[in-house]
Each structure stands twice: as C-alpha cells, then as structure tokens.
C-alpha cells in the first residue's frame, strides 16, 4: 500500500505550497523512495491551456501532452522524475467526468451529488497517480486556501481518504503564514484560525509548516503546537530561503523528512543529499555576472516565463555564472521605437506566447540580436519571430508575417498546421507533448545535443511554411532540426553568428537544476564569450559584495 501526504495551505495564497511539496518529494526520493506528485486545482477550467498567463502564470507541458499547472515543473525539477497528465487534476476535469458517467447511466439512476460522486471521482484520480507511478509515496498538493468554497470537495475527499486507506497510510501537512505586525512581531493567530478552519471540516493536521520572513523561535513553535494540537517536533519553521533550491536542505535540517517517514511508518536509509549540496555550492559560487534580456509581453508576472528563467539559471550556474535577467516589455519595445532597453545585453531570450500583442517588439529584439551579433535564443513564438524578421529583410517588406497575427499576409512564412485548419475548440487541440527532432549534422544544434535524435515538448498551432525554405536558406538561415520525415522545421539557426538559434518546441521543460538542457548550456557559453569579448563578465569587488 502506498503512502499519501496531503499538502494544504492556509492564511493566504502563493505561500509556496508547490515548492514545499516538491522539496518534500525530493528529500523522500533521497531516501530511496519512489515519489509521485499530484496537484489538485479547484478552478472550473479543464486545464490552464486557455487561461491568460496573468491569471495563472506559465502553462507547463508534460511528456504526454497535458497542459498543466506550473507546479508540475517544480515537481519535475526537484524530484527529477517526469510527471504525466494524471498529475494535474482540476474541478473542470472532475465535473466533466462525473457528468459523462451520469449521461451514460453509470450511476444507475442515483441522484448525482458532490458527496459521494464528486469526492469519489477525486479519490479515484489520487489512486490512479499512485497506481500508474507505482509509487511508495504520493505527495498531493491541494490548490487554493483552506476556507475557499471551491476547495471544499477536495478537502472532503482527502478527509475521507484516511478512513479509506487506513490512518497509518495518510499524513496531513498544513502550510501557513506568520505575518508581521507594524510593531515587527510575528503573529500566530492567523495560523490558529487556519487550522481551526481545517479541523472544522474534519482534518487535524499532523504537521504544520510555518512560513515567515525569519526562522521561528522556540516560543512561537510551542504556541502553535499548543493551540493547533500538533506535536512541537511537528511544527516546522520555513523562513524565506536564499533560493528555492535551498528549501529541500532547509526542510531536511528541520527534520521534516524524518518526521514524515516516522509518521507513515517507513523504514528508510539516511538520505543521500549530495546532489543538492553540490547544487547549493554551485549556486553560491557562481559569481561571473551575465546580463540576459528576457523579451516578453507578460513580464509583469515573471511566473509566466518560469521554466525559461530557471533553465537559463541552471545553465549559468553550471558555467560558474550569475544570470541577471533584464525583463524587457516587448509591447514597450514595439511602441517606443528604440532599442535602448536592449543595449548592453550579453544575451537575448525571446520566449513563447500567443496572439499579436507585442509581436513587433519581439521581432525587433530578434533583429537586434542578429545584426549586432548578440547571442539570441528563440523559443516557440520566439523562433517564429526570428523567421519573420529574416523573411522581412530578405523580401524587403514588412508584409512577411504569421497568419496568427495577420490572416491576409501576402507572405505567410508561419502558417497553420494543415490538421489545425478545421479545429473549432481552442483547449487541448494544439500540437502538444513530446515529439522527435533530428538535428542536422555539423550544426550548432547537433553539437549542443551530441546525439542523432532528441525528444522535445511542443505547444503550438502554427508552423514554419516550407515554401520559404529556399528564400531563407539563401539569406544564411540553416534548418538544423527537422521532424523525422523532414516535413516540419523544428530548429533554425544562422551559422555565421556567435549564437542565433530558435526552436519550435520548448526545451525549457526538460531542464533540471543538476542537469541543464544542452541548448541552454550552449547558449550560456556563447553569452559568456560575448560578455568577455566586450569587457564584461568581470567579478569586481562590488559583485563579490553583492553576492555575499
């Protein structure tokens, strides 16, 4: 029988449940346990694929083509295990499944209700994750905040779960916030009320993790233990960390791994956390400053580009560098008409997105990178903007475009996939998930990967128009990665450039903190060379002081 850890949150949203759940998974995996993860989101959307990044942040794509919550990216990066579509559950999925069963008559004429039908469906999905992953432990994160009306079916389902599988097989972990008053005092009262709310629904937390801007003293831990009816050893302090990648070691030092395994009756060896300690040392010793521009249209919410930013950092740390991201608004770049925000950059990343807004700013960034020999990496729409920019230069007209942005462009260098032309619904109908790509020998892409075929994750509806291959080839663009049948362009690059490469897919979804993605590694090496050639990338006393 697998064990189940349910992570709930109280007091406020955005406390870091995803990081905490992922960190717990990592320290359990370090004990030799097989860990599976599940995020339960209480919104009615079937998935976040049709949601604005301002509403939800990044949409993470799994190997099997699910558009999922960004916390699944944390799970993969921290536990170093690919998740599947089963690892993200939404209210939209649950109600769709239940209504479909009702229409088929599966409930044999019963009145369909939240209890037991909705809660049973939720529980069956939890069991499905454990079964598919053959996991020793399933870490389940319940989205939202305790007390939210939309989260109640999930809270009720996990309450029932302990009775279904046995008390010894379930542990409830509650994450709360200790706010600081104007006078500077940390207050436990919101935590007390949050636990009271949880208990009123029928769940007594076994572990309380208290988030604060500094470590809790013994007096505060004793107070939480007393008023929340939790063993004092099971009150864990989780202060603000120097990096999200410092959280696993911090929680292990606080005893969380030992507490969870003991509470669940798991006999495990001492954790092997050498990889995390090596990562910590690598991050702390990365001092060479690199200024990298992230050119996007959702930059007010950095979570919209979470995996891209983390992938840049992973590769930078491995090279001993501190990647300093300069967030550049592509709409402002388009509107203001100058390239001042791009000046002084060591590298440029143009990430993905949808819709015409801010596109001309991304095209301008691509042109700046190409003409000024600044290392430039384009991802999905970023790659398409590289193609549009070069096509405009080759044709001598700004009419070259994607039919996504201009349906009547006379030069559709980016166009719909044939199978996408008659698609009516938007959600879940793109080219999604892992597909093979064959890097062309002798190219930058092939040197970076060092292998004849790779699998990468896609999330797009529009493709390069092959009618323009010859034109762009004549202007120096190499199509350095193709689908196995040669029909679809996956990678473009310009060989006569320090680094100018775009991918139709999203390599950022496969990067790991201890194993950076090869394309990001190659990009960072080019960025470092460019910075050095321009008298930058120098570790000055000021940089050392800032690092400390």
Considering 508, 517, 525, 530, which one is annotated as catalytic?
508
Residue 318 falls inside a structural domain: yes
pLDDT of residue 543: 54
Q: Which helix (H) or strand (E) holds 163?
A: helix 152-165
Claim to verify: residue 259 and residue 356 sit in the same structural domain:
no
- What does each C-alpha distance from 271 to 25, 27, 76, 104, 483 come to in angstroms? 12, 7, 19, 49, 42
Residue 69 falls inside a structural domain: yes
Query: How far apart (Å, rounded) are the C-alpha atoms in residues 470 and 481?
Result: 16
Residue 543 falls inside a structural domain: no
Confidence tier at 544 by pLDDT (50, 70, 90): low
Q: Provide DSSP, 305-322.
A: GHHHHHHHHHHHHHTTEE
Residue 282 has pLDDT above 80, yes or no: yes
Q: Which helix (H) or strand (E) holds 26?
A: helix 17-29
Residue 246 has pLDDT above 80, yes or no: yes
Claim to verify: residue 294 and residue 243 sit in the same structural domain:
no
Claim to verify: residue 318 and residue 274 sit in the same structural domain:
no
Using the 3D structure, point to which of 229, 244, 278 is the last residue of a domain: 278
Claim to verify: residue 270 and residue 300 sit in the same structural domain:
no
> How wide is the angle at C-alpha 317 spanned by C-alphas 316 and 320, nearest 5°?
90
Claim to verify: residue 298 and residue 267 sit in the same structural domain:
no
Confidence tier at 330 by pLDDT (50, 70, 90): very high
Mind listing the pLDDT tens digit for each residue in 382-419? 999 999 999 999 999 999 999 999 999 999 999 987 76
Answer yes or no: are the C-beta atoms of 532 and 288 closer than 8 Å.
no
Residue 545 falls inside a structural domain: no
Mind listing the pLDDT tens digit for each residue in 22-44? 999 999 999 999 999 999 999 99
380 is catalytic: yes
Residue 346 has pLDDT above 90, yes or no: yes
Mind listing the pLDDT tens digit for each residue in 503-528? 999 999 999 999 999 999 999 999 99
Considering 117, 497, 506, 517, which one is annotated as catalytic?
506
Mind listing the pLDDT tens digit for each residue in 360-369? 999 999 999 9
Claim to verify: residue 93 and residue 242 sit in the same structural domain:
yes
Question: 127-141, 320-334, 415-429, 527-541: lowest mean pLDDT where?
Answer: 415-429
Confidence tier at 181 by pLDDT (50, 70, 90): confident
The span from the first CA to the last CA of the chain, in angstroms, equals: 47
CATH number of the domain where residue 196 is located:
3.40.50.300
Confidence tier at 314 by pLDDT (50, 70, 90): very high
Confidence tier at 374 by pLDDT (50, 70, 90): very high
At a CB cut-off of 8 Å and minimum separation 6, what does 179 contact? Answer: 11, 186, 187, 190
Q: Which two tokens stand for residue 168?
A: 């010894």
Query: How far apart (Å, rounded) are the C-alpha atoms in residues 420 and 147?
Result: 42
Residue 541 falls inside a structural domain: no
pLDDT of residue 341: 93
Q: Which helix (H) or strand (E) holds 212?
A: strand 207-212
pLDDT of residue 1: 87
Average pLDDT, the chain: 93
C-beta neighbour count of 345 within 10 angstroms: 26
Q: Which helix (H) or strand (E) holds 434?
A: strand 431-439
Claim to verify: residue 328 and residue 264 sit in the same structural domain:
no
Q: How many domains is the chain partitioned into structurally?
A: 2
In this prediction, residues 124-135 reach a mean pLDDT of 95
Claim to verify: residue 268 and residue 297 sit in the same structural domain:
no
Using the 3D structure, point to which of 232, 252, 278 is the last residue of a domain: 278
Prior bond to 79 cis, omega within 30?
Answer: no
Query: How far apart (Å, rounded) are the C-alpha atoms in residues 90 and 100?
Result: 16
- Identify the CA nearest to 217 among candidates 202, 235, 229: 235
Count CA atoms closer than 13 A to 286's CA, side-chain side.
Answer: 21
pLDDT of residue 491: 98
In this prediction, residues 233-238 reach a mean pLDDT of 95
Answer yes or no: are the C-beta atoms of 312 and 325 closer than 8 Å.
yes
C-beta neighbour count of 362 within 10 angstroms: 29
Domain holding 167, by residue range, is: 3-278
pLDDT of residue 424: 58
Confidence tier at 356 by pLDDT (50, 70, 90): confident
What's CA 66's distance to the chain center, in Å?
A: 13
Claim to verify: residue 86 and residue 170 sit in the same structural domain:
yes
Claim to verify: residue 263 and residue 328 sit in the same structural domain:
no
174 is catalytic: no
Residue 296 has pLDDT above 80, yes or no: yes
Using the 3D structure, point to which of 278, 307, 329 is the last residue of a domain: 278
In this prediction, residues 327-351 reach a mean pLDDT of 93
Confidence tier at 186 by pLDDT (50, 70, 90): very high
pLDDT of residue 421: 65
Claim to verify: residue 438 and residue 319 sit in the same structural domain:
yes
Claim to verify: residue 132 and residue 52 sit in the same structural domain:
yes
Confidence tier at 354 by pLDDT (50, 70, 90): confident
Residue 426 has pLDDT above 60, yes or no: no
pLDDT of residue 10: 87
pLDDT of residue 416: 86
508 is catalytic: yes
Residue 371 has pLDDT above 80, yes or no: yes
C-beta neighbour count of 262 within 10 angstroms: 14
Residue 547 falls inside a structural domain: no
pLDDT of residue 427: 61
- What does each C-alpha distance from 502 to 24, 249, 384, 391, 420 come to in angstroms? 35, 36, 8, 15, 22
pLDDT of residue 439: 97
Confidence tier at 145 by pLDDT (50, 70, 90): very high
Residue 272 falls inside a structural domain: yes
Answer yes or no: are the C-beta atoms of 369 and 348 closer than 8 Å.
yes
Helix/strand/coil for 92: helix
Confidence tier at 104 by pLDDT (50, 70, 90): very high
Residue 515 falls inside a structural domain: yes
Answer yes or no: are the C-beta atoms of 102 and 143 closer than 8 Å.
no
- Identify the CA nearest to 58 among candidates 76, 81, 36, 32: 76
Query: How far apart (Å, rounded) are the C-alpha atoms in residues 462 and 83?
Result: 26
CATH number of the domain where residue 349 is located:
3.40.50.880
Query: How far apart (Å, rounded) are the C-alpha atoms in residues 37 and 375?
Result: 37
- Identify the CA nearest to 379 among candidates 287, 506, 200: 506
Considering 380, 404, 525, 530, which one is annotated as catalytic?
380
């Amino acid at each position: 029988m697998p064990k189940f850890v349910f992570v709930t949150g109280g007091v406020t949203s955005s406390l870091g449940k995803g990081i905490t759940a992922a960190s717990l998974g990592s320290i359990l995996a370090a004990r030799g346990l097989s860990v599976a993860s599940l995020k339960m989101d209480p919104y009615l959307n079937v998935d976040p694929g049709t949601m604005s990044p301002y509403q939800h942040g990044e949409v993470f794509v799994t190997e099997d083509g699910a558009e999922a919550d960004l916390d699944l990216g944390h799970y993969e990066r921290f536990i170093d295990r690919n998740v599947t579509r089963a690892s993200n559950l939404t209210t939209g999925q649950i109600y769709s499944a239940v209504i479909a069963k009702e229409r088929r008559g599966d409930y044999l004429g019963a009145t369909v209700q939240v209890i037991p039908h909705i809660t049973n469906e939720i529980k069956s999905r939890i069991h499905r994750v454990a079964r598919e992953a053959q996991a020793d432990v399933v870490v389940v994160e319940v989205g939202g905040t305790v007390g939210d009306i939309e989260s109640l079916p999930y809270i009720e389902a996990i309450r029932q779960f302990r009775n279904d599988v046995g008390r010894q097989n379930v542990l409830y972990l509650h994450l709360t916030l200790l706010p600081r008053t104007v006078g500077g005092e940390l207050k436990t009262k919101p935590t007390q009320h949050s636990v009271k709310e949880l208990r009123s629904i029928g769940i007594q937390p076994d572990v309380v993790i208290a988030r604060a801007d500094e470590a809790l003293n013994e007096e505060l831990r004793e107070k939480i233990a007393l008023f929340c009816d939790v063993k004092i050893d099971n009150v864990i302090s989780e202060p603000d960390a120097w990096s999200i990648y410092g959280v696993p070691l911090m929680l292990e030092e606080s005893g969380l791994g030992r507490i969870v395994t003991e509470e669940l009756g798991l006999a495990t060896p001492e954790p092997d956390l050498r990889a995390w300690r090596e990562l910590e040392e690598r991050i702390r010793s990365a001092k060479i400053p690199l200024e990298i521009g992230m050119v996007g249209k959702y930059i007010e919410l950095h979570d919209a580009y979470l995996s891209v930013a983390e992938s840049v950092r992973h590769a930078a740390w491995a090279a001993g560098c501190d990647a300093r991201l300069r967030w550049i608004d592509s709409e402002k770049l388009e509107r203001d008409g100058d390239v001042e925000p791009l000046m002084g950059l060591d590298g440029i990343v143009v990430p993905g997105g949808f819709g015409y807004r801010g596109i001309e700013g991304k095209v301008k960034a691509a042109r700046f990178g190409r003409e000024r020999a600044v290392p430039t990496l384009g991802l999905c729409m970023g790659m398409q903007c590289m193609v549009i920019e070069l096509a405009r230069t080759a044709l001598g007209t700004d009419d070259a475009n994607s039919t996504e942005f201009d349906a009547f462009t006379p030069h559709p260098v980016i166009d719909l996939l044939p199978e996408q032309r008659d698609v009516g619904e938007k959600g879940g109908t793109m080219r999604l998930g892992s597909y093979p790509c064959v890097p062309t020998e002798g190219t930058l892409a092939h040197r970076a990967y060092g292998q004849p075929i790779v699998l990468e994750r896609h999330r797009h509806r529009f493709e390069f128009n092959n009618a323009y291959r010859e034109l762009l080839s004549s202007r120096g663009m190499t199509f350095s990665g193709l689908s196995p049948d040669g029909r679809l362009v996956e990678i473009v690059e310009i060989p006569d450039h320090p680094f100018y490469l775009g991918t139709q897919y999203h390599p950022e979804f496969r990067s790991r903190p201890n194993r950076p993605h090869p394309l990001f590694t190659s990009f960072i090496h080019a960025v470092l060379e460019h910075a050095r050639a321009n008298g930058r990338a120098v570790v000055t006393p000021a940089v050392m002081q800032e690092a400390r």
